[in-house]
């Protein structure tokens, strides 16, 4: 007879406890969970990502309905537990359900703290705590413009960032003089504020709210200093309070939270508590990692496994706001007896502070560069004495001046060794060091990728990846990790250079040959190596290699960009961004004919026809009768131009002609990744040529050529490659540069990453001599001579064209289905 376990609460901490209990002793309990929200267990931390549009609600479900079913757990969702009879051991819900228990677990979490302001009950005043709040915000953003977030802490800033993404004007009201005062010191906080202001956030600091104004719906917020702000939405993010009402009524000991001992017991037989509703040694935790640690202890106790108990956690915080890297952990405020090490770099917007007490690291704050976070966090938790070597904690063994011969080196390996086994490495998925070590030892994981597949560690925010790598290295031994070096993908241990070297030496001309000769693990490769090999083969042997359509990514196979709903977008070539009334009319007519839902000018000055059905693509191309704009390929995309001296009063050279010539010469060129060019007619640089893969800027009497810039996810200003006098020289340098990139870059490596990896000096040296440039140009010209326009090819080839059509069932399907016989239609539908 199984014992009955009832849990009140269906949140992250509680369900994580149940998961661990099931792993330890799946047969012991018959489990029932009461959850107030109508959803299965989801990742509350990710709500800010949902609001930011980076994830859907489905993406943040941690355990779906099937999980409860598969594990025999009765989930009473959408119900609230209303009373507990600790004598009779029965829980009752608001819908009249009475659940008897042998063990009861309170996992009631916390409630948002709603400051008791007059008017707080108006429509448009919400918290940011659950899926429903998230949905309300998204709905509000559709019809309203202004939002105020009350609270400048972690939650408030994440809510504000989400509302900005939804297109709202957002002001954050904060009672203190600086933001996130519980996680940051004043210096880091000011840096954060500046960064967020640059993202469009407005701050009203040291402001005390007095009343919410409006009729049924909120229209504004009045402050105690007599000022007033208009708004359409108020989000309260002023903190959370442990949800202890029911526990109090049930006779449990409650301070700020439900009081528990080191084993999560509440003092009444058969009742335990875990998570945000709990107060342990006077501390209430609101972050996920400690809650998982508590859950692990409770699971062990209830499973009958020995445990040392829970001894409290060191807290760390990361802000999940795009473009901002913030980390803090432990006690980072200077106090008597503490010493701190600070690095402040205003040029790069980086600030680091490590606080020591008696030689031990007790806290840290990082802003701008958080790459040291896991190392520092381990140092805090290890409690190791760094006396005499404090600087190594931040600068590594070689850095700083305090290091030196004979000093202990503080390596990540030491810190990993000092970690206890049940310490959580991955806070997103609650993976402990023991789980990782076990996966390495028993399941044979030898890479971070395999560990992720096996344990989900580093599968959330990815912040713990360096630590996972370190655990891998210390567990396996550094030599073992070296043996399993990762190649271009999981199909081979060979690097890009080894693969390309073999292709050239052995004269391999098909992907099949490469995989066979180089002993690929998977007979037909994967979605990473196949496109890469196809590119390398075409680069090495342009005449002999036959392009393999089936190894190309969908966009390059269909010569149009796939969109999230499965439709495509079509971009005709418009050289240098210069078009004519005739072409515009033609494009407009085609857009109307095929009912294109969205016509947009792209970032590269071209016209994008979005929302096209796949089967309409060939027809559209035919009607357009223009070359493909290659907006979809790892190829030359666009050459953006300004108007140059054709019309502009500042223009020194003909930027339009230069741009058109470049685009005509290099169009259809396959490259390791997409390549964007621009030409500006004067140093005012209206074409933004200095954030392009190659940018040309006209100066009086010549041209400057900039390379390896990027305007994408990692913005990078281009480096000056050279200055030349004539247009011919611009074309020759561009050709040589592009071919050198084609020959030496990894597939999917942008020029900006490539140039950092191999070094600008290497590139300059390779292009320095006229004869080398000529040889590179000869090779690129040979490749360019072979290129054909893909749209035209497909229109002219019936086999290629037919592949765009869907096959449809015979019209008489119903009859065919009813007769259950083989029906023979006339053939597939033809266009």
Interacting residue with another protein among 87, 121, 550, 771 (CB under 8 A):
550
| The two structure tokens encoding residue 687 | 């074409």
Q: Which of 522, 762, 770, 797 binds another protein (CB under 8 A)?
A: 522
In the numeric block, which tokens belong to residue 577? 């961004």
Least distance in angstroms from the C-beta of 132 to another protein: 23
Cβ proximity to another protein, 283 vs 811, nearer residue:
811
Q: Which of residues 582-641 bind another protein (CB under 8 A)?
A: 614
User: What radius of gyration do the chain's Cα atoms show?
Assistant: 31
CB atoms within 10 A of CB 86: 17
Regarding 726 and contact with another protein (CB under 8 A), the answer is no
**Tokens 């980390």 appear where?**
327
Each residue 38-77 as x (binds another protein by CB under 8 A) or -, in order, gives ------------------x---------------------
CA distance 132 to 47: 10
Of 30-38, 157-165, 685-693, 798-806, which segment contacts another protein by CB under 8 A? 798-806
Tell the smallest beta-carbon distance from residue 450 to another protein (Å).
9
- With beta carbons less than 8 A apart as the criterion, state whether 177 and 152 touch: no
Strands of 58-139, DSSP E = 74-77, 81-85, 90-93, 98-100, 103-106, 110-112, 125-127
| Residue 236 φ/ψ, nearest 5 degrees | -85, 115
- Which lies closer to another protein via its Cβ, residue 60 or residue 154? 60
760-767 vs 770-785: helix crossing angle, rounded to 10: 90
Applying CB under 8 A, among 387, 527, 726, 770 the residue interacting with another protein is 527
Q: Is 465 in the site for another protein (CB under 8 A)?
A: no
Given candidates 554, 598, 717, 778, which one binds another protein under the rule CB under 8 A? 554
> Integer distance in angstroms from the first to the last C-alpha of the chain?
67
Q: Which helix (H) or strand (E) holds 506?
A: helix 496-506
Nearer to another protein, 525 or 542 (CB): 525
At 616, list the tokens: 């309409």
Distance CA 222, CA 371 (A): 42
Q: Do the beta carbons of residue 260 and residue 275 sit within 8 Å? A: no
Q: Which residue stretch of 302-310, 399-407, 552-560, 646-654 sits at the interface with another protein (rule: CB under 8 A)? A: 552-560
Q: Which is nearer to another protein, 58 or 649 (CB)?
A: 58
CB-nearer residue toward another protein: 720 or 816: 816
742 in Cβ contact with 784 (< 8 Å):
no
Q: Is 786 in the site for another protein (CB under 8 A)?
A: no
The owner of tokens 């393999």 is: 548
Cβ atoms of residues 459 and 470 within 8 Å: no
Among 431, 531, 593, 650, binds another protein (CB under 8 A): 531
- Which residues on adjacent β-strands are paired with residue 229? 221
* Site membership for another protein, residue 456 (CB under 8 A): yes
Q: Which of 71, 75, 97 is nearest to 9 (CA)?
A: 75
Nearer to another protein, 125 or 529 (CB): 529
- The minimum distance between CB 794 and another protein, in angstroms, equals 13
Q: Is position 827 an interface residue for another protein (rule: CB under 8 A)?
A: yes
Residue 88 vs 824, nearer CB to another protein: 824
Residue 558 interacts with another protein (CB under 8 A): yes or no:
yes
Region of residue 717 (phi > 0: left; psi between -120 and 50: alpha; otherwise: beta): beta
Specify the DSSP class assigned to residue 709: -
Select 350 or 453, whichever has its Cβ closest to another protein.
453
For residues 530 and 248, give the distance between their C-alpha atoms in angstroms, rounded to a whole number.
62
Q: Rule CB under 8 A: is residue 521 a binding residue for another protein?
A: no
What's the Cα-to-Cα distance from 170 to each of 112, 197, 265, 472, rounded to whole Å? 20, 10, 44, 44
Q: Does 811 bind another protein (CB under 8 A)?
A: yes
Number of residues that bind another protein (CB under 8 A): 45
- The DSSP call for residue 718 is P
- As measured in angstroms, the least distance from the Cβ of 477 to another protein is 25
Pairwise CA distance, residues 224 & 599, whole Å: 49
**Cβ proximity to another protein, 122 vs 557, nearer residue:** 557
Distant-in-sequence, close-in-space partners of 225: CB < 8 Å, separation ≥ 6: 207, 208
Among 459, 487, 611, 702, the residue binding another protein under the rule CB under 8 A is: 459
Smallest distance from another protein to CB 554, Å: 4
User: Least Å distance between CB 830 and another protein?
Assistant: 11
Among 82, 417, 526, 760, binds another protein (CB under 8 A): 526
**Residue 797 CB, nearest distance to another protein (Å)?**
12
| 200 closest CA partner among 174, 166, 238, 242 | 166
Q: Does 828 bind another protein (CB under 8 A)?
A: yes
Q: Which stretch binds another protein (CB under 8 A): 179-187, 219-227, 551-559, 652-660?
A: 551-559
Q: Which residue, 12, 8, 24, is CA-closest to 299?
A: 24
Q: Is 442 in the site for another protein (CB under 8 A)?
A: no
**CA-based diameter of the chain, in Å?**
94
> Phi and psi (nearest 5°) for 151?
120, 120
Confirm or reject binding of residue 461 to another protein (CB under 8 A): no
Tell me: does residue 821 bind another protein (CB under 8 A): yes
Q: Which two tokens stand for residue 400?
A: 């700083």
- Return the residue of 564, 585, 714, 775 that touches another protein, per CB under 8 A: 564
- Nearest approach in angstroms of CB 813 to another protein is 5
Nearer to another protein, 344 or 802 (CB): 802
The tokens for 346 are 């205003």
| Binding residue (CB under 8 A) for another protein from 26, 383, 810, 831 | 810
Place of tokens 């044979």: 444
Please say which residue, 111 or 816, places its beta carbon nearer to another protein: 816
Alpha carbons 106 and 93: distance in angstroms, whole number: 14
**Tokens, residue 620:** 């559209």
Stretch that binds another protein, among 8-16, 321-329, 773-781, 803-811 (CB under 8 A): 803-811
Which residue lies nearer to another protein by CB, 39 or 614?
614
519 binding another protein? (CB under 8 A): no
Residue 453 as a binder of another protein (CB under 8 A): the answer is yes
Residue (446 or 562) nearer to another protein, CB: 562
Residue 637: in which H helix or E strand, if any?
strand 636-641
Among 301, 375, 452, 742, binds another protein (CB under 8 A): 452
Q: Please report, as ranges, the residues that interact with another protein according to CB under 8 A.
A: 56, 452-453, 456, 459, 522-527, 530-531, 549-551, 553-554, 557-558, 562, 564-566, 614, 802-803, 806-811, 813-814, 816-817, 820-825, 827-828
């Amino acid at each position: 007879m199984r014992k009955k376990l009832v849990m009140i609460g269906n949140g992250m901490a509680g369900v994580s406890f149940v998961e661990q209990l099931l792993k330890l002793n799946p047969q012991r309990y018959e489990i029932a969970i009461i959850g107030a929200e109508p959803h299965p267990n989801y990742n509350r931390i990710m709500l800010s990502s949902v609001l930011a549009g980076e994830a859907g609600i489905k993406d943040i479900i941690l355990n779906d309905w099937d999980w409860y079913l598969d594990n025999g757990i009765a989930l009473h969702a959408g119900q609230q537990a209303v009373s507990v009879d600790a004598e009779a051991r029965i829980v009752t819900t608001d819908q009249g359900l009475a659940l008897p228990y042998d063990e009861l677990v309170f996992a009631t979490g916390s409630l948002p703290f709603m400051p008791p302001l007059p008017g707080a009950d108006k429509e448009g005043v919400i918290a940011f705590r659950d899926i429903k709040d998230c949905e309300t915000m998204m709905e509000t953003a559709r019809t309203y413009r202004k939002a105020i977030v009350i609270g400048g802490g972690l939650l408030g800033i994440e809510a504000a960032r989400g509302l900005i993404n939804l297109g709202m004007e957002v002001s954050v009201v904060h009672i203190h003089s600086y933001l996130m005062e519980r996680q940051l010191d004043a210096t880091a906080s000011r840096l954060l504020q500046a960064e967020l202001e640059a993202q469009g956030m407005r701050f009203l600091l040291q402001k005390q709210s007095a009343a919410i104004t409006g009729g049924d719906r909120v229209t504004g917020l009045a402050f105690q200093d007599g000022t007033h702000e208009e708004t359409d939405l108020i989000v309260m993010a002023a903190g959370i309070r442990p949800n202890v009402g029911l526990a109090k009524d049930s006779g449990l000991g409650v301070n700020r939270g439900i009081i528990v001992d080191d084993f999560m017991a509440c003092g009444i037989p058969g009742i335990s508590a875990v998570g945000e509703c709990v107060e342990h040694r006077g501390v209430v935790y609101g972050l996920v990692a400690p809650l998982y640690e508590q859950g692990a202890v409770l699971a062990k106790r209830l499973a009958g496994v020995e445990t040392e108990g829970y001894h409290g956690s060191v807290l760390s915080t990361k802000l999940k706001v795009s473009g901002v890297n913030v980390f803090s952990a432990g006690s980072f405020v200077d106090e008597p007896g503490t010493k701190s090490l600070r690095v402040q770099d205003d040029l790069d917007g980086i600030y680091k502070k490590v606080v020591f007490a008696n030689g031990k690291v007790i806290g840290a704050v990082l802003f701008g560069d958080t790459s040291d976070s896991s190392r520092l966090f381990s140092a805090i938790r290890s409690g190791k004495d760094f006396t005499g070597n404090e600087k190594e904690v931040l600068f590594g063994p070689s850095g700083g001046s305090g290091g030196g011969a004979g000093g202990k080196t503080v390596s990540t390996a030491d810190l990993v060794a000092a970690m206890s086994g049940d310490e959580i490495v991955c806070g997103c998925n609650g993976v402990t060091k023991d789980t990782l070590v076990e996966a390495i030892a028993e399941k044979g994981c030898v890479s971070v990728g395999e560990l992720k597949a096996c344990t989900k560690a580093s599968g959330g925010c990815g912040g713990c990846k360096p630590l996972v790598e370190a655990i891998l290295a210390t567990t396996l031994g550094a030599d073992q990790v070296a043996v399993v070096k990762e190649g271009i993908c999981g199909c081979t241990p060979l690097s890009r250079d080894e693969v390309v070297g073999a292709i050239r030496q052995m004269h391999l001309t098909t992907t099949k040959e490469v995989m066979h000769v180089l002993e690929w693990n998977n007979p037909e490769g994967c979605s990473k190596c196949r496109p890469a090999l196809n590119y390398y083969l075409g680069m090495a042997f342009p005449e002999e290699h036959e392009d393999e359509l089936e190894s190309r990514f969908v966009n390059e196979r269909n010569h149009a960009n796939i969109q999230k709903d499965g439709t495509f977008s079509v971009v005709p070539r418009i050289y240098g961004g210069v078009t004519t009334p005739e072409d515009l009319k033609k494009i407009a007519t085609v857009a109307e004919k095929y009912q294109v839902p969205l016509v947009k000018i792209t970032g590269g000055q071209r016209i994008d026809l979005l929302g096209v059905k796949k089967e309409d693509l060939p027809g559209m191309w035919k009607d357009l009768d223009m070359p493909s704009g290659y907006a979809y390929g790892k190829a030359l995309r666009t050459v953006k131009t300004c108007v140059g001296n054709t019309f502009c009063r500042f223009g020194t050279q003909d930027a339009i002609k230069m741009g058109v010539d470049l685009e005509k010469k290099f169009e259809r060129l396959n490259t390791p990744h997409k390549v964007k060019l621009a030409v500006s007619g004067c140093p005012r640089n209206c074409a933004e040529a200095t954030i392009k893969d190659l940018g040309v800027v006209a100066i009086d009497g010549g041209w400057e050529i900039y390379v390896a810039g990027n305007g994408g996810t990692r913005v990078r200003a281009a480096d000056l490659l050279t200055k030349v006098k004539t247009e011919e020289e611009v074309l020759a340098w561009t050709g040589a540069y592009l071919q050198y990139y084609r020959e030496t870059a990894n597939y999917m490596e942008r020029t900006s990453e490539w140039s950092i990896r191999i070094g600008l000096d290497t590139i300059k040296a390779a292009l320095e001599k006229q004869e080398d440039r000529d040889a590179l140009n000869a090779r690129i010209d040979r490749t360019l001579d072979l290129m054909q326009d893909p749209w035209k090819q497909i229109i002219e080839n019936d086999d290629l064209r037919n592949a765009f059509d869907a096959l449809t069932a015979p019209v008489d399907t119903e009859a065919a289905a009813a007769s259950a016989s083989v029906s023979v239609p006339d053939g597939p539908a033809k266009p």
